[in-house]
Structure 1
Amino acid sequence: MTVPHAEHQDRSGGHHPYLRYVALGDSTTEGLGDGDEESGYRGVADRFAERLAATSPDLRYANLAVRGCGTEHVRTVQLPAALALGPDLATVVAGVNDFLKPRYDVERVVGHLDATFAALTGAGTHVVTLTFPDIGRVAPVARPIASRARALNAGIRDSATRHGVTVVDTGAHPVTVDPRMWSPDRLHLSPQGHERMAAAFAQALALPGADDSWTLPLPELPTPKPWEAARVEAQWIGTFLAPWLLGRVGGRSSGSGRTGKRPLLARL
């Protein structure tokens, strides 16, 4: 994990509380996989905001993330709204929906992220982002495009270094590809996955009580028999992958017509 700067530390070495946190991104930040449409979604940003509020009672929090969106949406739609809120802290998590498309231009995707980082840090905002784990180990059928995620991660690291952005390097920790960290669709984190990512953000900012326990492995699972593994893969393809691909071919996005769930800064 890289922590390029530490404006969150005051001169005495203690934690300086953030007051205005804005989350930008896609379904991970919106919280899919951690709740449902009826009760609402919690997710990594909500869980991280709760940790921040525990040490910063005056914290106000906005979540502009929209499921299914790419980095261009983050830059052109979410970024202006975020800047208008004047955040002193922002998280930016996006790029997966870009590298899952048939056509992928990593330079263009990183360019959108770079511009987003530059605008936020230029406005005095402390930005935290993350790299992505090996998607080929999360979903074996995705191995042919795993190199796309690696290229994106390299671009994120380079851009973060230029702009003084804090990077949580999830790919460095094997637990992030544990199936229990992911929802059955393997596209969204499970509640446990969201909680661990929130803990990773907390550690990146050295929040009181935060540590590296989020990197610890889960209890070992028995190795499935080959036929069991094949059955699980076939079931996943039919239940989740095929409908998702059909939607993409048809030009449909899960985020069409949606806006961020918390467009204005407010107390939790």
Structure 2
Amino acid sequence: MPFERFVTLGDSCAEGLDDPYPDGSRYRGWADLVAERLADEQPGLRYANLAVRGRRLDQIVAEQMPVAKRLRPDFIALFGGGNDVMSGGWSDDEIRRRVDTAVGGATEIAPTVAVFTLSDISRRMPLGRRLGPRITVLNEAITAAAEHYGALLVDIGPDPAVHDLRYFGRDRLHLSHHGHRRLAAHLLTVLGVSTQPSWLEPLPGPPPQPGVRGHAAWLWREVRPVAISRVRNRLIGRSPGDGFLPKQPDLLPVRPV
């Protein structure tokens, strides 16, 4: 399935947190990995990544889709919804509307669109039980919209790796080096493109079990600063991600022609 113009839309996971390039200059992530592999099939492939960390689905539609439309992609990968799940004022009907608008809008721009379900973060986060039902609603909406609009669905729910902390960063939200490669492999598989076999091989040994002390340390180290930052931003009218620019706003060659 050769593509000439690949555009990624989304949030921090689409940007590539927590998978920095070896030189630390920026994040790599699953979308860059997929672009590199697709460029092996189509050396003239150009790639843009409009993702901005902290963005909800409605912000992705308002800010990123008009840019994507001007780039005229033939393939869009849309990854979002995690920030909607963790935002206040949750409404099942509203998230269904946001998902439908986002997936429908992407399929109007590009002939091939891939969307993703999210792993249930409530299962790896103490005090995160309230997020479980929200993720269920989100994933059901993404699955329904993909079927309705003819988008490709990357459903990571059946993958046992979603319950292994080694596939996630220190905050247990963003994918790790291993997680980004596994997600890239899932997307490439859906596209019918061969992938690195090692990306889907299980990691050696049993998954870590943090215990009470490990969970407490995680809450203090990762959750407390984020909670304080969100409260501060809410008081001054800022949204997560304000001030950050898209990772790669222009269509650029992935490989020299």
TM-score of the superposed pair, with normalisation by structure 1: 0.87
Residue in 2 that maps onto 1:257? 243
Residue in 2 that maps onto 1:237? 219
Residue in 2 that maps onto 1:3? none
Cα deviation for residue 106 of structure 1 reads 3.0
Q: Is the 8 A contact 1:32 1:188 kept in 2?
A: yes
Residue in 2 that maps onto 1:55? 41
Work out which of the residue numbers 204, 223, 229 in structure 2 matches 1:247.
Answer: 229
Runs of 4+ in 1 over 6 A off after TM superposition: none
Cα deviation for residue 222 of structure 1 reads 6.9
Secondary structure (helix, strand or coil) at the match of 1:142 reads coil
Q: Is the 8 A contact 1:175 1:216 kept in 2?
A: no
Between 109-118 and 62-71, the greater mean CA deviation after superposition: 109-118
Q: Is the 8 A contact 2:166 2:208 kept in 1?
A: no
Cα deviation for residue 85 of structure 1 reads 0.5
Unaligned runs of 5+ in 1: 1-15
2: CA distance, partners of 1:190 / 1:213: 15
Cα deviation for residue 171 of structure 1 reads 1.1
1: CA distance, partners of 2:141 / 2:80: 13
Work out which of the residue numbers 21, 25, 28 in structure 2 matches 1:39.
Answer: 25
Distance change in 2, residues 1:21/1:60 (3 Å): same
Between Structure 1 and Structure 2, how many residues are aligned?
249
Residue in 2 that maps onto 1:70? 56
Matched, 1:27 2:12: yes
Matched, 1:166 2:148: no
2: CA distance, partners of 1:215 / 1:104: 34
Between 123-132 and 113-122, the greater mean CA deviation after superposition: 113-122
1: CA distance, partners of 2:131 / 2:103: 25
Q: Tell me which amino acid in the other structure corresponds to 2:231.
A: V
Identity percentage of aligned residues: 38
Residue in 1 that maps onto 2:190? 204
Q: Is the 8 A contact 1:35 1:42 kept in 2?
A: yes
User: What's the RMSD between the two structures over aligned residues?
Assistant: 2.0
Q: Is the 8 A contact 1:22 1:63 kept in 2?
A: yes
TM-score of the superposed pair, with normalisation by structure 2: 0.90
2: CA distance, partners of 1:99 / 1:57: 38
Please give the residue correspondences for 1:12-161 in structure 2 after superposition, counting only pairs within 5 Å: 16-35=1-20, 38-161=24-147
2: CA distance, partners of 1:91 / 1:141: 31
Secondary structure (helix, strand or coil) at the match of 2:192 reads coil
Distance change in 2, residues 1:213/1:39 (3 Å): closer
Secondary structure (helix, strand or coil) at the match of 1:157 reads helix
Q: Is the 8 A contact 2:178 2:199 kept in 1?
A: no
Q: Is the 8 A contact 2:29 2:180 kept in 1?
A: yes
Distance change in 2, residues 1:71/1:222 (3 Å): closer
